Each structure stands twice: as C-alpha cells, then as structure tokens.
Amino acid sequence: MKNVIWLLTVGLMMVFTSCKKDYTCECVTTTETPNSSITATTNTAIKNTKKNATTICDDGDSSSSIDDVTTSVECEIK
C-alpha cells in the first residue's frame, strides 16, 4: 500500500511540474540604407517552458523606418 501511495505521489508531482529548460533566443538585427546593409546577431538564454520561451523570444521582433533607414529584428528559438 505504501508503494502505491508513493508511486501516485511521484506521478502527480511529474504531472504538475512544468518542464523548464534552457532555450536560446537568437535575434538577427538588420539595418538597411540605400547604400548598405548591416546585420548583427545576438543570443539570449531563456529558462522556461518551450511555449513561454517562444512567446518571450517572439516579443523581440520589431521593425522601424526613419527616412531611408530601415531596421528590423527577427527572433526565434534555437
């Protein structure tokens, strides 16, 4: 009986514990002008569930333009 209770307890702990892992969010920033293009890559570690890490990483996406200069940031989980 004790073994059954112990197994149920361990099983419930596994069900209710989310699987948090380290994920890498890679963001590529590109700045374009009429005469050139510059690209830079940054990596950020995120410790969370895959779903939450993907959401956090995707929040880094952006784009802006001022006159002839356009800057965009594209982020994805690697």
The domain tally of the chain equals: 1
Range 29-62 burial, b when 16+ CB lie within 10 A, else e: beeeeeeeeeeeeeeeebebeeeebbebbeebee
15 is a domain residue: no
CA angle 59, 21, 55 (to 5 degrees): 15
62 is a domain residue: yes
46 is a domain residue: yes
Write down the pTM of the prediction: 0.73
Q: Name the band, by pLDDT with cuts 50, 70 and 90, for residue 10.
A: low
28 is a domain residue: yes
11 is a domain residue: no
The residue range of the domain holding 39 is 20-77
Q: What is the pLDDT of residue 15?
A: 54
Instruction: Kindly report, residue by residue over 16-43, the tens digit of the pLDDT.
Output: 566 899 999 999 999 999 999 999 999 9
3-state secondary structure of 5: helix
